Structure 1
Amino acid sequence: MDTTQGTTQTPAPGATPAPTIWPTLQAEDALALIDFFVDTVGFLRTAVYEDGDRVAHAQLDWPEGGGIMLGSYDPEAAGGTCGTPGTSGAYVVTDQVDALYGRLTAAGVKIISGIEDKPYGSREFGIADPEGNRWFFGTYRGEPRPPETP
């Protein structure tokens, strides 16, 4: 009997667990979108697998943790369950919110929500990427997890 199925590895006390949720999106021009995220926003190009003129899979890591996955839009893939380009949204945590806002504004990126302090303690702003997806960058790391009960 396989007793490992359904178990998770617990990080050492005080360690941050590896990301296990990856926002994914499809793009009409995946290579241009990858360049935007890497060259303009500051993601790291971790892996890009091309299939001819299409991107089969790309992983872009955020320097402060986590990342995104994307590929070329294929309405036939997975029985038509792929999201349409421009319909995704994500929140990215950063301690460098003001510097990032300044850099993206100077680069002419479309700002959809100006930088502001929120009542829940975050400082954040929002942009639209070249495909129309919405991205919010801020300092809010979420609420602390409740203690585990035995």
Structure 2
Amino acid sequence: MGVKFIPDGYHTVTPYLTVRNAPKVIEFLMQAFGAKLSHDAIKRPDGSIMHAQVTIGDSHVMIAEENEMAKATVSTLYIYVPDVDSVYQQAIKAGGSNVMEPMDMFYGDRGGGVRDPSGNSWFIATHKEDVEPKELAKRAEAFHKQQKGKAA
């Protein structure tokens, strides 16, 4: 039997973050989200991290320190957790900066967001309600009207 085209434990899409100060980002992910280092990092001759992997829940996140060929880019990731409010507080204590305090969202999640030391946004959510498509469209319209009113 041949090798599987997706290794065991992985999903079809795996985030790969190119960051500044990879060790600090990895430490943040460990403290904020309980990430586990999947294996020892592969280092470049200068000691910077060429490749590291952490596991958050059932998902892998690959991380590399920026270099001349691959500059750091800012990404946004969405992470589901059992208790958004406590994980948000944990992420702030771990050094994350506030993007949005947790609140109930029209699409059925309670969500908030933080920025990690390299500038990536992590939107943290707990799914609270399954919303049917017609109801979702109605709520989205009401949300946009409310937002438009705030901008005035």
> Normalised by the size of structure 2, how large is the TM-score?
0.69
| 1:52-63 mapped onto 2 (5 Å cutoff) | 52=45, 53-63=47-57
Q: Is the 8 A contact 1:85 1:132 kept in 2?
A: no
Runs of 4+ in 1 over 3 A off after TM superposition: 105-108
**Equivalent-residue separation in structure 2 for 1:66 and 1:85 (angstroms):** 21
Residue 69 of structure 1: aligned partner: 62
Q: 1:116 aligns with which of 82, 91, 103?
A: 103
- The alpha-carbon distance between structure 1 residues 51 and 97, as it changes in their structure 2 partners (threshold 3 A), is same
Greater helix percent: which structure? Answer: 2
Partner of 2:20: 28
Unaligned runs of 5+ in 2: 131-152
Cα shift at 1:18: 4.5
When residues 116 and 20 of structure 1 are mapped into structure 2, their CA distance, relative to the original with a 3 A threshold, is: same
Partners in 2 of 1:56 and 1:8 — Cα distance?
A: 23
- The aligned length equals 123
- 2:5 & 2:33 partners in 1: Cα distance? 32
Report the identity percentage: 24
Alpha carbons 1:122, 1:139 under 8 Å: kept? yes
User: For 2:26, what is the secondary structure of its paired residue?
Assistant: helix
Matches of 2:5 and 2:118 in 1, distance apart? 36
Instruction: Tell me which residue corresponds to 1:13.
Output: none
AA aligned to 2:52 is: A
CA apart distance, 1:29:
1.1
Question: 2: distance between equivalents of 1:87 and 1:131?
Answer: 8
User: Is 1:49 the counterpart of 2:36 in the alignment?
Assistant: no
For 2:122, which of 135, 138, 148 is the aligned residue? 135
Alpha-carbon distance change, 129 to 108 in structure 1, aligned in 2, over 3 angstroms: closer
Q: Distance in 2 between matches of 1:74 and 1:62?
A: 25
State the match for 1:148 in structure 2: none
CA 1:18–1:107 in structure 2 vs 1: closer, same or farther (change >3 Å)?
A: closer
Preserved contact between residue 124 and residue 139 of structure 1 (Cα < 8 Å)? yes
1:39: how far off? 2.6
Mapping for residues 90-105 of structure 1, pairs under 5 Å: 90-105=77-92
